[in-house]
């Protein structure tokens, strides 16, 4: 057979090139995750269980003086918790084995303040064991939360307590099998029962617990466990309790500058640092209800599907994991309303990510490392998690172009870095090729383990991802594109000081229907057209309805207490702006100055009212200095002679600045109220009040 020498030489060259060894992979950009941090990040979504004496005392932070006899969940079923978590797509459950009140959900050898002195199962029960067994049955991983602060223990603040704390950790981490995460709250020190002392105790948060020794003990007991706190050492708090990470979220952290309970942490460190010295990725924690523990009054305040989806996209979708709290109720069950929302969340996530439009499509890169297929752009759309696209070391900006082949409609995108080699991308942008030209879809911050983008619905034949800035050669592992179905969002409902209730439009072409008689709204209910007066307590159920698609939102239930039309602020030194404290608008604040703090804020209700509690809403803006943490409330019939109604704390208000609902032991009657801030964040010399109200129903 005759052979063309030139053709043979070309073929031989191609074979040699094809068989040439791949260049070495990019050098890791320190810091990088270890194996257990990678495994933890891949869990993405897991559950929190807040349950204990607070559940029965209707509190968020117990003082440590609630009798153990109050704990009696007669229908407790940890298998139900595990089943609910599994169905929601969670990969594990972290349980509050001991919260700040010191009550233990296991029969600890070292305290009498535990389930062994409760009527539940005649003192022979063990919540942690039941959950550990349920997690094994449902193939979930078990996590343990135990509070370093203990408002019950007489030795808190002394060296003896640290020994007690470690002994209890030893019980929890050696008796219940493998633990995937050990969780430590940053709340340390303050007022408490402390064995009957009823006093305030402070500790040096940097040194008191001698964390290095405690961490070493945990490593011995549970070598594969992740340890969580503000400072890590393995994973960190995201800096808020809304469940949101940030457009720029770095996994590296300047860990040696941080300690648990650090006041500056949320503002300065929670987003991580590009120049961080240790790999300490973020975990976003949030409750499915306003509070962390179960409160019957919050049965109608379970987060909407739209809110839960927003949380998911802003946590898992912004380089964090999502820890979603399910407050087990006083029966010992996850409440049916919480379950309903979890099912909706799971169903919507499955719809959003049902069909990857990028899988197997043609894709090109502006640069490929060593021009070798091992690092080719095809690795981004091969459906595998271990392959990756990489560029030459000299490259810090690059682009990849995905060709759909035909015009394709999409509104979601997933992009991941190959984080075993470190987090590299500082910023990136998207463009779509539509009608013969490239159109910008926006610019974004970091990527990290995973970034999920919600985009305007776009039809394009090609999609370009440009790495605009990176600290080293980009290394990406995955790109996915989806068309998520449109959701009809629940409407925004407000009431002003005059008592006028408004249902505000969030989407064009959508109608709103409502009821006020306690029934569930539907498209057959009253159609909203104009604002209406709502001065008496009402329960509003409202839906959004799209007449074109015939789809509606889930019903939104809102309870309004009596209106504030006739309310006024009393006091010679009080300015006109004080009305902001009672204008039914949580986004308007009033600041009590240092001189006004001593007198408090006096409200004239306009007439004598009977009420069962009151509400305080802290500022809803970012600057929290001046939030009231401790209060006293007085009532009067004439504005001169005052009686103390109640005093106490707003538990966890700094981390979770939502409306605080305080219930009285008995009904109170009066025309005048005096709200006296006793302590504010940072002892700021001022008090921020977004809203004050009363509870009559």
231 confidence band (pLDDT: 50, 70, 90): confident
The per-residue pLDDT for range 569-597, each reduced to its tens digit, is: 998 767 788 999 999 999 999 998 888 88
The answer to whether residues 426 and 453 belong to one domain is: yes
User: What are the backbone dihedrals phi and psi of residue 339, each rounded to the nearest 5 degrees, phi first?
Assistant: -60, -45
pLDDT of residue 197: 96
Give me the mean pLDDT over the 42-57 stretch.
98
Asked, for residue 453, whether it belongs to a domain, the answer is yes
Full-model pTM:
0.91
Give me the mean pLDDT over the 242-261 stretch.
95
Give me the long-range contacts of 338-341 (CB less than 8 A, separation at least 24).
Answer: 338/84, 338/288, 338/289, 338/302, 339/84, 340/302, 341/288, 341/302, 341/303, 341/304, 341/305, 341/308
Q: Which of 62-76, 80-94, 397-411, 480-494 has the lowest mean pLDDT?
A: 480-494
The rounded distance, in Å, linking the Cα atoms of 692 and 177 is 48
pLDDT of residue 594: 83
Give the CA angle between residues 364, 368, 373 to the nearest 5°.
Answer: 85
pLDDT of residue 506: 66
**Is the per-residue pLDDT at 225 higher than 70?**
yes
**Is the per-residue pLDDT at 315 higher than 80?**
yes
**Is the per-residue pLDDT at 15 higher than 70?**
no
**Is the per-residue pLDDT at 328 higher than 60?**
yes
Instruction: Locate all alpha helices (DSSP H) within 20-71, ordered by sequence.
Output: 35-43, 53-57
User: What are the backbone dihedrals phi and psi of residue 648, each rounded to the nearest 5 degrees, phi first?
Assistant: 170, -155
Where among 417, 447, 482 does a domain terminate? Answer: 482
The answer to whether residues 140 and 119 belong to one domain is: yes
CATH number at residue 60: 3.20.20.80
For the four alpha carbons of 333, 337, 343 and 349, in that order, the dihedral sign comes to: negative
**Is the per-residue pLDDT at 413 higher than 50?**
yes
The rounded distance, in Å, linking the Cα atoms of 607 and 647 is 24
Asked, for residue 460, whether it belongs to a domain, the answer is yes
The answer to whether residues 66 and 170 belong to one domain is: yes
CATH number at residue 543: 2.60.40.10
The rounded distance, in Å, linking the Cα atoms of 142 and 140 is 7
Asked, for residue 29, whether it belongs to a domain, the answer is no
Asked, for residue 26, whether it belongs to a domain, the answer is no
Q: What is the mean pLDDT of the chain?
A: 94
The answer to whether residues 221 and 88 belong to one domain is: yes
19 confidence band (pLDDT: 50, 70, 90): low
Asked, for residue 16, whether it belongs to a domain, the answer is no
- Enclosing domain of residue 367: 362-482
The per-residue pLDDT for range 627-675, each reduced to its tens digit, is: 999 999 999 999 999 999 999 999 989 888 999 999 999 999 999 999 9
Give me the mean pLDDT over the 169-197 stretch.
96
pLDDT of residue 656: 87
Asked, for residue 487, whether it belongs to a domain, the answer is no
The rounded distance, in Å, linking the Cα atoms of 510 and 551 is 10
**Is the per-residue pLDDT at 565 higher than 50?**
yes
508 confidence band (pLDDT: 50, 70, 90): confident
Give the CA angle between residues 269, 398, 370 to the nearest 5°.
Answer: 115
482 confidence band (pLDDT: 50, 70, 90): very high
The answer to whether residues 261 and 405 belong to one domain is: no
The answer to whether residues 516 and 379 belong to one domain is: no
The answer to whether residues 403 and 287 belong to one domain is: no
The answer to whether residues 323 and 369 belong to one domain is: no
- The count of structural domains within the chain is 4
Where among 560, 580, 599 does a domain terminate? Answer: 560
* Helix, strand or coil, per DSSP, at residue 378: helix
The answer to whether residues 527 and 619 belong to one domain is: no
Asked, for residue 92, whether it belongs to a domain, the answer is yes
Give me the mean pLDDT over the 509-516 stretch.
93
pLDDT of residue 16: 47
The rounded distance, in Å, linking the Cα atoms of 687 and 685 is 7
**Is the per-residue pLDDT at 13 higher than 50?**
no
The answer to whether residues 551 and 572 belong to one domain is: no
User: What are the backbone dihedrals phi and psi of residue 549, each rounded to the nearest 5 degrees, phi first?
Assistant: -90, -10
Q: Let me know if 479 is exposed, middle or buried by CB neighbors in 10 A (0-12, 13-18, 19+).
A: buried
**In the block, which residue shows the tokens 């060593």?**
370
pLDDT of residue 230: 86
The answer to whether residues 426 and 511 belong to one domain is: no
Asked, for residue 138, whether it belongs to a domain, the answer is yes
Where among 560, 586, 617 does a domain terminate? Answer: 560
**Is the per-residue pLDDT at 478 higher than 50?**
yes
The answer to whether residues 473 and 509 belong to one domain is: no
């Amino acid at each position: 057979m005759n052979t063309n020498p030139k053709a043979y030489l070309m073929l031989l060259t191609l074979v040699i090139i094809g068989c040439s060894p791949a260049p070495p992979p990019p050098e890791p950009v320190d810091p990088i995750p270890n194996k257990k941090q990678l495994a933890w990040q891949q869990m993405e979504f897991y559950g929190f269980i807040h349950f204990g004496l607070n559940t029965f005392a209707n509190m968020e932070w117990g003082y440590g003086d609630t009798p153990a006899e109050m704990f009696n969940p007669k229908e407790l079923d940890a298998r139900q918790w595990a089943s609910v978590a599994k169905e929601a797509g969670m990969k594990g459950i972290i349980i509050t084995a001991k919260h700040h009140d010191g009550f233990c959900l296991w029969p600890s050898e070292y305290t009498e303040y535990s389930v062994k002195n409760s009527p539940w199962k005649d003192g022979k029960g063990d919540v942690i064991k039941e959950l550990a067994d349920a997690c094994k049955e449902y193939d979930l991983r078990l996590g343990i939360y135990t509070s370093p602060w203990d408002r019950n223990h007489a030795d808190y603040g002394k060296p003896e307590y640290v020994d007690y704390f470690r002994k209890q950790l030893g019980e929890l981490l050696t008796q219940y099998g493998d633990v995937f995460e050990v969780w430590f709250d940053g709340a340390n020190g303050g007022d408490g029962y402390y064995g009957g002392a009823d006093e305030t105790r402070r500790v040096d948060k940097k040194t008191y617990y001698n964390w290095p020794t405690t961490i070493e003990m945990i490593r011995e007991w549970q070598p594969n466990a992740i340890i969580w706190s503000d400072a890590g050492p393995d994973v960190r708090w995201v800096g808020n309790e809304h469940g949101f990470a940030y457009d720029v979220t770095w996994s590296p952290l300047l860990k040696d500058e941080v300690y648990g309970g650090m006041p500056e942490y949320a503002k300065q460190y929670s987003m991580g640092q590009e120049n961080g010295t240790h790999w300490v990725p973020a975990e976003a924690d949030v409750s499915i209800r306003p509070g962390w523990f179960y409160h019957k009054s919050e049965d109608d305040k379970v987060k909407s599907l739209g809110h839960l989806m927003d949380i998911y996209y802003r946590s898992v979708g912004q380089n964090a994991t999502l820890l979603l709290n399910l407050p087990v109720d006083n029966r010992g069950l996850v409440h049916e309303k919480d379950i309903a929302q979890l099912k909706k969340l799971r169903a919507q996530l499955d719809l959003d990510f049902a069909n990857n439009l990028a899988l197997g499509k043609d894709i090109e890169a502006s640069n490929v490392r060593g021009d070798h297929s091992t690092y080719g752009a095809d690795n981004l759309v091969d459906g595998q998690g271990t392959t990756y696209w990489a560029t030459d070391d000299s490259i810090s900006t690059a682009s990849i172009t995905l060709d759909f082949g035909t015009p394709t409609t999409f509104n979601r995108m997933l992009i991941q870095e190959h984080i075993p080699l470190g987090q590299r991308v500082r910023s990136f942008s998207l463009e779509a090729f539509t009608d013969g030209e490239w159109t910008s879809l926006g610019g974004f911050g970091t990527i990290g383990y995973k970034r999920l983008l919600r985009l305007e619905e776009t039809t394009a034949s090609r999609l370009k991802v440009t790495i605009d800035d990176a600290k080293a050669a980009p290394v990406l592992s995955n790109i996915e594109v989806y068309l998520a179905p449109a959701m009809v969002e629940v409407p925004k409902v407000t009431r002003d000081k005059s008592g006028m209730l408004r249902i505000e439009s969030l989407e064009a072409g959508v109608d709103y229907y409502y009821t006020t008689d306690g029934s569930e709204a539907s498209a057959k209910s009253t159609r909203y057209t104009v604002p209406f007066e709502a001065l008496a307590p009402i329960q509003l159920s409202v839906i959004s309805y799209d007449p074109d698609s015939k789809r509606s939102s889930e019903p939104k239930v809102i309870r309004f207490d009596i209106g504030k039309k006739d309310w006024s602020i009393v006091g010679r030194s009080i300015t006109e702006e004080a009305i902001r404290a009672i204008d039914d608008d949580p986004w308007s604040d009033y600041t009590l100055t240092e001189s006004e703090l001593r007198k408090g804020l006096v409200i004239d209700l306009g007439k004598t009212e009977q009420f069962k509690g009151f509400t305080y809403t802290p500022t809803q803006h970012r600057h929290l200095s001046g939030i009231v943490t401790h209060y006293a409330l007085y009532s009067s019939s004439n504005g001169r002679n005052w009686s103390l109604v109640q005093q106490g704390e707003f538990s966890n208000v700094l981390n979770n600045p939502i409306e605080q609902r305080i219930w009285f032991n008995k009904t109170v009657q009066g025309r005048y109220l005096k709200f006296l801030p006793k302590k504010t964040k940072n002892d700021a010399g001022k008090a921020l009040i977004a809203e004050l109200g009363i509870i009559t129903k």
